[in-house]
Structure 1
Amino acid sequence: MQLTTDHWQYLHNPPVATGILKQHAADFRVTEELGYTLTGEGEHIFVEIEKTNLNTAFVAEALARFCQLPLRQVTYAGRKDKYAVTRQWFGIHVPGKSDYPWQEFALEGAAVLQTKRHNKKLRTGQLKGNLFEITLREVSNPDAVISKLEQAAITGVPNYYGSQRFGIQRIQENGEINRGGNLVMAERMLNGEVIKNRNKRSMALSALRSWLFNEMLSERIEQKRLFTILPGDVINLTGSNSIFVADDDVAALSSRLARQDLSTTIPLWGKGETGSTGQANQLEMALAADYAPVKTFLAGQKLTMERRAAIIWPQQLECHQQGDTLIVRFFLPSGCFATTVLRECLNTTELA
């Protein structure tokens, strides 16, 4: 079974405009927003770091070495792009320890911006979201791209997992896609190969689960049901992890969806029930029917069935044009991909 990615549906017509993404690391900036105030006391030191051309796990390992702690005592809310300039928080569990000489932390491409104590552990997904500042160069039709971005802020875009999850990069200027290493590893696992490296195995599992989510999301778009709330649909309240099941009176919910208050969802496959009922469950079972080997494998990997919003709306959108260069800023909730928003607006060639 080959796990391909180039057939996923667009919400509207595929974009025609082209542009270059990540010509320089500073062309892709990400800043985490925790969404809560640190207490200033407690067993955990939160460290905000700006990193350039470094992956999150590598920085976490460097922090563990500097603090002389096991790696499990260094946590983060989520992985950030390697080929970028990103600001993110790391949590370090050090009960009883006063502090560290952070001015002595030396890692090329990384700098400590601030530190503060907190009384709770920094867990995966525990942040409000990310603010993106993206520079697109050699844009063929800036006005068309701006128009599509403005449309995305109003109507939303499919909440696909981005290419980073699959290890895919556009490595040639003609836009030809190189298949992602994480998906190749996932295929090998499906075929019975045992991947012993824990980190690689985790990345392959994540890629496989995300691929199935994208497949089912694409199918729902193709059926023109992304914005249609069915009785029994699992609904997500925008900007939160709260979900509930829609009853038979979907008119009020549909109005709230139009106001960006809530979204339909798609299963993140694992062990257990999808949570949907009735008509919505019938639709999801039909969408998932062709993926029996993937579903069975994921359910056997100690993954619990979860849900993910099917629609996202870029917030705080700003677009600034300088000739054929566009500087775009917007905010997305935790776990959402800026490249997913860009995908609806232009075809990018990634040079990083």
Structure 2
Amino acid sequence: MQIWPYLPRLDADAPSIKAVIKRDPEDFVVEEVAAYEPCGQGEHLFLWIEKRDISAEGLLKHLAGQLRIERRDIGAAGMKDRRAITRQWVSVPATAESRIDRIDNKAIRVLKSARHKNKLKTGHLVANRFSIHVRGIAKPLRESVLASVARVAADGFPNYYGPQRFGNEGHTAKQGFDLLKGQLRPAQIPRQRRRFLIRLAISAAQSMVFNTVLGNRIDNGRIATVTVGDVLQKIESGGMFVCENVEQDQARLDAGELALTGPMHGPKMRRAEGEPAEWDAEGLARWELTEEQFAEFSRVAHGTRRPMMVSADDLVAESATGGLLVKVTLPAGVYVTVLLREVLGLED
């Protein structure tokens, strides 16, 4: 299933370079920016963990084994890359506090710990801070890449879901499409992880439709233009409304007060109206889907909308051995691979 290269970049003339990331784990450093700090008391123990070249699944398995707890009792705000050095909070029951000295090994270190009142849950983070050594950029090409970096820092980049979202060769998205179309029954999915895998697959299908709508708006030159019927999001509060006054809302979009949004289909999604509703429908039609099919999976796909563009105000790059060192902080749920693709055409 073709999931990635067909999507247009915001600047079709930006560099396209076959660079390399993650040659070494040290080339890709990501640090979580927490939504809150542990308060120092409570029935849960927060661990600030650094891992090197180990998967999120490997980390959870190691913690459960060394602390003698169930994996379901471990909380994490998000899953981090394997081929990388990552730092993040993880929560475990405070009853395991006496055993945390068993955790450290060559790949995993506990840097600090503190108690808190609640378990850490998915999404309990504000952003991720990245430092990425991009190798294989010849010196004559670096100026054009630095110009591309400056453009993205000033204008932002498309908020596509990255290829990781869709599974190997798009398998997870295809599974989601098959579930929605009735070509795969939930009962055919292994019972032990059925709910999790269904949620993952339907989410991947939602994301594929979103990417399609976003790509179409870029192709049609409407990614920075407000249209009557667009669903707009207030940057400061997150509230959404349907555009009725183009002149007023266009000025607010240009000022960075509003964001255009795209569909993540489900019964609770705010519907666009008029022409934007037709564009959303074209995204469904591309994959031969209907809104009603998503409604059948409302327990795992409530529906929402996602900003189509994302800012990267602190994006910077500097010369490094064999290439560039790229640093940026991105909101939770935004893919740094998408940013790298926009900057230098790097396909993950």
Equivalent residue number for residue 61 of structure 1: 61
2:284 counterpart letter in structure 1: A
Matches within 5 A, 1:36-51: 36-51=36-51
Q: Percent identity?
A: 28
Instruction: Tell me, yes or no, if structure 1 residue 12 matches structure 2 residue 11.
Output: yes
Is residue 288 of structure 1 aligned with residue 284 of structure 2? Answer: yes
1:226 to 223, 227, 236: 223
Q: Structure 1: how far apart are the matches of 2:285 and 2:315?
A: 38
Q: How far apart, in 1, do the equivalents of 2:215 and 2:25 lie? A: 31
Partner of 2:273: 277
2:305 alignment partner, one of 304, 307, 311: 307
Q: TM-score, normalised on structure 2?
A: 0.86
RMSD value, Cα: 2.6
CA distance in 2, matches of 1:293, 1:318: 40
Cα shift at 1:272: 4.2
Contact 2:39 2:117 in 1 (8 A): yes
Of 241, 245, 251, 2:241 maps to 245
> 2:317 aligns to what?
319
2:185 corresponds to 1:195? no
Q: How does 1:330-345 map to 2 (within 5 A)?
A: 330-345=328-343
Higher relative contact order (CA 8 A, sep 6+): 1
5+ unaligned residues in a row in structure 1: which ranges?
Answer: 169-178
For the residues of structure 2 that align with 1:349 and 1:283, how far apart are their CA atoms? 26
Q: TM-score, normalised by structure 1?
A: 0.85
2:230 corresponds to 1:236: no
Question: Distance between the aligned counterparts of 2:108 and 2:97, measured in 1?
Answer: 19
Say whether the 8 Å CA contact 1:245–1:276 is kept in structure 2.
no
In the other structure, the counterpart of 2:257 is 261
Give the superposition deviation at 1:151: 0.5
Q: Matched residues in 2 for 1:151 and 1:246: separation?
A: 29
d(CA) in 1 for partners of 2:321, 2:241: 48
| Unpaired stretches in structure 2, ≥5 consecutive residues | none
User: Counterpart amino acid of 1:320?
Assistant: E
Deviation at 1:342, TM superposition (A): 0.7
Displacement of 1:108: 4.7
Cα distance in 2, alignment partners of residues 114 and 337 from structure 1: 27
- For residues 268 and 287 of structure 2, the distance between their equivalents in structure 1, rounded to whole angstroms, comes to 16
Distance 1:60 1:167, change over 3 A: same
Shift of 1:54: 1.8
Q: State the shift of 1:39 in Å.
A: 1.2
Contact persistence 2:67–2:103 (CA under 8 A) = no
Deviation of residue 294 (structure 1)? 6.7
